[in-house]
Copies of this chain bind each other. A is one copy, B any other.
Amino acid sequence: MEVNLDDISGEWLGYVMDVLFDAGANDVFYTPIYMKKNRPGVLLQLLCRKEAIGQMKDILLKETTTLGIRYYPLTVHRMERDFVQVETKWGSITVKQGISNGEVFQSSPEYEECRKIAEKHKVPLKKVYEEVWKHVGK
């Protein structure tokens, strides 16, 4: 689902992203675009299940200044996900694994857990990730 916006402020766009995620969007992201009459604009794109289209449209009408919404179907290849625990000196951290045909391709530490540890123990977030990578190989 896509919307071009040239008459909305960044403040509202920051807000509507949160609202769309809260309502169940799979992803929401903005791309800077160049529109007519020298207008810097923003392309809002969102990914959602087919059944959620109505609700998402409703939010876009209410929270943005758009007069039209475009959409088209996408095929999505989503990897299986698994979660493993890694022990660090600051406690256990969850690592999300992306699996395809039984092989682990991705191992990414859960951001929110790392962030909390970084804040609580006053260590750089970078150090927390590095510690996890040492044990799991990312």
Contact = CB atoms under 8 A, between A and B. Distances in A.
Contacts of A63: 124-126
A2 B77 CA distance: 11
Given A14-B37, A29-B36, A31-B32, 18 more contacts: A7-B10, A10-B42, A13-B40, A17-B38, A30-B34, A30-B40, A31-B31, A31-B34, A34-B34, A34-B38, A36-B38, A63-B124, A65-B108, A67-B78, A69-B76, A70-B76, A72-B74, A134-B137
Interface of A: 2, 4-18, 21, 27-43, 47, 57, 61-79, 81, 96, 98, 100, 105-106, 108, 111, 115, 118, 124-126, 129-131, 133-134, 137-138
